[in-house]
Chains A and B, each alone.
Chain A
Amino acid sequence: KAGVTQTPRYLIKTRGQQVTLSCSPISGHRSVSWYQQTPGQGLQFLFEYFSETQRNKGNFPGRFSGRQFSNSRSEMNVSTLELGDSALYLCASSLASGELNEQFFGPGTRLTVL
């Protein structure tokens, strides 16, 4: 069974640009969550999607948005990039939205903003 895949793995952008990251969950998983990992702030929850609906949201500005498609694949978009958005963005999938469901993480997309 294939794991969570994220594309692209590496990305370089400049300030002011926008970027879209993609996440394909494990087959059959309906919940997708996104996290940002930086050396200074650690791992922080961005948002969770389940059945194409955003269920939970972290404390990030509106420049960070996401969506989920009917096949459970998810995209995350960051507009008007800032230097501080440089981070490893991790996607995690689980069967459903609930505490007993283990989240499986992808390898991440490393975004560098110049």
Chain B
Amino acid sequence: AQSVTQLDSHVSVSEGTPVLLRCNYSSSYSPSLFWYVQHPNKGLQLLLKYTSAATLVKGINGFEAEFKKSETSFHLTKPSAHMSDAAEYFCVVSDTGTASKLTFGTGTRLQVTL
């Protein structure tokens, strides 16, 4: 069975400092991994996805994530946080064969302070 574990339920950073949101995954197959963001009262938006093409994945708004098979990790990073980055972030896994069935992590709430 596939699963993801988001290691931090809440992360607080100052504007202009780096962001690191941690995610470990478990999958029986070669996984597809995603990061989604959810702003208050808005739908989920895809930040980036990994589908075995390249281990370092660049997404929108300056976010990127690195797939590390040996560590079963897919951490999300951004060099410099912006106030508009404050939101809930979800790490998501999808196994080959049931690709439309997404399994979500519990979410990490990112707070950005001045």
Which chain A residues have a beta carbon within 8 Å of chain B's beta carbons? 3-4, 31, 33, 35, 42-45, 48, 50, 55-56, 58, 90, 92, 94, 97-108
Contacts and interface: CB of A to CB of B under 8 A. Distances in A.
Interface stretch (B14-22, B61-69, B76-84, B91-99): B91-99
Contacts of B99: 97-101
Interface of B: 32, 36, 41-46, 49, 51, 90, 94, 96, 98-107
Given A99-B96, A100-B51, A45 B101 contact: yes
Nearest to B53: A100
List 5 A-B pairs, minimum CB-CB distance, nearest first.
A99-B99, A43-B104, A105-B43, A105-B44, A99-B32
Contacts of A56: 98, 100-101
